[in-house]
Chains A and B, each alone.
Chain A
Amino acid sequence: MIIDLQRFIDKSRPAWMELESILKRVETDNRPMSVKEMERFHELYELTAADLAKLTTFSSEPETRNYLESLVARAYGEIHETRDKQRRIFPLKWLFQTLPQTFRRQIGAFYLSLAITLAGCVFGGFATYFDPDSRHVTMPFGLDSLRPSDRVKQEETRTVDLLAGNKSSFSAALMTNNIRVSITTLAFGATWGIGTILLLFYNGIILGAIAIDYIADGQAKFLLGWLMPHGVIEIPAILVAGQAGFVLALAFIGWGDRAVLKARLRQVSRDVVTLSIGFALMLIWAGFVESFLSQYHEPIIPYSAKIAFGTVELILLILFFARSGAGSKKS
């Protein structure tokens, strides 16, 4: 049997047009529909779906079928979606509630990230302590070319501000580089976490090597004054990137979870994005602090002031992630 295509189109066209106009509105307008509008929308969807079924069964006219398929596909997406429609963004609620709650919900992945970085630190520290030559391999940015005490002497006697007129560009470079590294750490979660582990471990090696190098040379105070103001935010930010990477990796692996891959990924994707925006914000702050504060040493800024600043930041960060949004509803 073949349907009378022209009559079929003429008869059904008004419903298709109406559905198309509703879809256009739904897709562009964030205003929720009234019950009446929803009923009409659903009715039109069912009518059009039935027309598609009829056309597929009784005729093979591809243009009309494509048109109806596209309408039904769009309506299906709107009607069967059960996840919240992200209508409006509340930045403060997101910052003080969603982000810390997400962090705490995925705390296991953070501990894993921390443990791997600490393992890297121990390895880097041991390597530098027992084999000082290894600093040429483990230390980046030319830090291996000077003994810590020489560098401290150089920094404390410097009369020229090397960053004068370059502070903004230096902080922009730091932010973009750190965010890029962190996103890569996160993205490597898709390699079942292997890439994330390697990057975190490598990061830990650098940290451990630098720390032991300065401590062994009696420059612990300089080290704390230099690293703490930005490091107490930057290092946790990279750990959060690792945390997001592991959340993604665990969803890929699906350990002890009987849900299919896409259901597992769907479950964690909002958390991964929340953590990503979180670490990006932290790194923006760290970039500013590193450029405008961390690179200035005694006698310009006393180390104790820098250490105190870093300590305050660290306490606030811990309080933020541990307590913020604790009493409010899960978001």
Chain B
Amino acid sequence: MKTSALLIRTPEGIVFAQSLAGPVTRFFAWVIDLMLIIAFLFGLNQLMSWVRLINPDIAASVSTAGFFVMNIGYGMFLEWMWRGQTIGKRVMRLRVVDADGLRLQFDQIVTRNLLRFLDMLPLMYVVGGVSCWLSRKCQRLGDIAANTIVIRIPQIAEPDLEHLLEGKFNSLRKYPHLAARLRQRVSPVEASTALQAVMRRDRFEPIARIELFRQLAAHFQAKVDFPPEATEGLTDEQCIRNVIDVIYSARS
């Protein structure tokens, strides 16, 4: 079965997920790399046009060898230097990693890049694309042979909850026993939904945002019956901010 994430269970019993990159994202990364290779070769050609004035033979041989080395060595060199990334992969936030979550080895990088010659056939990575499409872990033949996968790298900035959870007066905290009941009744998924709604508030259309917070406020108010003065004058969004503060921050 095809999967969008690779789950790895460590011997300690911890499970972590790696999001697999799809063929389209990988194709775009390849296009960026291809553009860069073409740009480099164009530059090399320009340089060689000067060398040609002195020694046309050397200029022609450098051009031929440069094209070949760049074609085959670009991926190998950058993936080795940048631990599984080329410039295209960096832009698209992709990385080549070992399929078992282990350290990526040099021979894996070389193998996957050598097998490009097969994946590229008959043109534009048709073999590789089909293999990627059929493979459960979205691997082209080079990845299968090298036991590698290409993953999407998440934005791994630490969450900034401070601006959400502190500062303002929280009317719900005036009723500690009800706040404790709310914490008890809310599931992690519900809490996360509320938190995400607040963190992503600026991405919603104004009308959609009002409707979303109205529904969320109604949902959480139904969980615990707070006295009317606790929610009086609060907008639905502020109500949800207070709920999150109660759930995620246990200060009294």
Contact = CB atoms under 8 A, between A and B. Distances in A.
Contacts, number: 178
B100 A262 contact: yes
Interface string B166-205: 1000000000000000010010110110011001000000
Interface string B126-143: 000000000000000100
Interface in B6-63: 8, 10-18, 56-58, 60-62
Interface stretch (A187-195, A227-235, A316-324): A187-195
A172 B64 contact: yes
A248 interface: yes
A9 interface: yes
Interface band, chain A: 35 or more
Of listed B57, B67, B155, residue having the most chain A CB within 10 A:
B57
Interface in B228-252: 247-250
Contacts of A248: 145
A2 B191 contact: yes
- Point out which of A53, A191, A195 has the most chain B C-beta atoms below 10 A from its C-beta: A53
Contacts of B196: 62
B156 A66 contact: yes
A7 interface: yes
Interface in A39-66: 46, 49-50, 52-53, 56, 58-64, 66
A7 B117 contact: no
Given A60-B192, A262-B100, A262-B147, A76 B10 contact: yes
B85 interface: no
A173 interface: yes
A269 B68 contact: no
B124 to A, nearest CB: 17
B80 to A, nearest CB: 10
A7 to B, nearest CB: 7
Interface in B76-116: 83, 97-108, 110-111, 114-116
A78 B103 contact: yes
Contacts of A63: 155, 157-159, 199
Nearest to A186: B114
Interface stretch (A80-88, A132-140, A213-221, A305-313): A80-88
B165 interface: yes
B161 interface: yes
A53 B249 contact: no
B206 interface: no
A262 B12 CA distance: 23
A50 B118 CA distance: 43
Contact of B248 (A6, A83, A266): A6
A13 B111 contact: no
Contacts of A269: 105, 107-108, 111, 145-147
B60 to A, nearest CB: 4
B224 to A, nearest CB: 14
A92 B56 CA distance: 34
A66 B93 CA distance: 14
Interface string A248-279: 10001000000001100110011011001000
Nearest to A53: B14
A35 B57 CA distance: 56
A8 to B, nearest CB: 9
21 contacts: A2-B188, A2-B248, A5-B248, A60-B192, A61-B192, A62-B192, A72-B10, A72-B14, A73-B18, A78-B103, A80-B10, A85-B103, A166-B60, A172-B60, A176-B67, A183-B117, A248-B145, A265-B145, A269-B111, A273-B106, A273-B107
Interface of B: 8, 10-18, 56-58, 60-62, 64-65, 67-68, 72, 83, 97-108, 110-111, 114-118, 141, 144-147, 153-159, 161-162, 165-166, 183, 186, 188-189, 191-192, 195-196, 199, 247-250
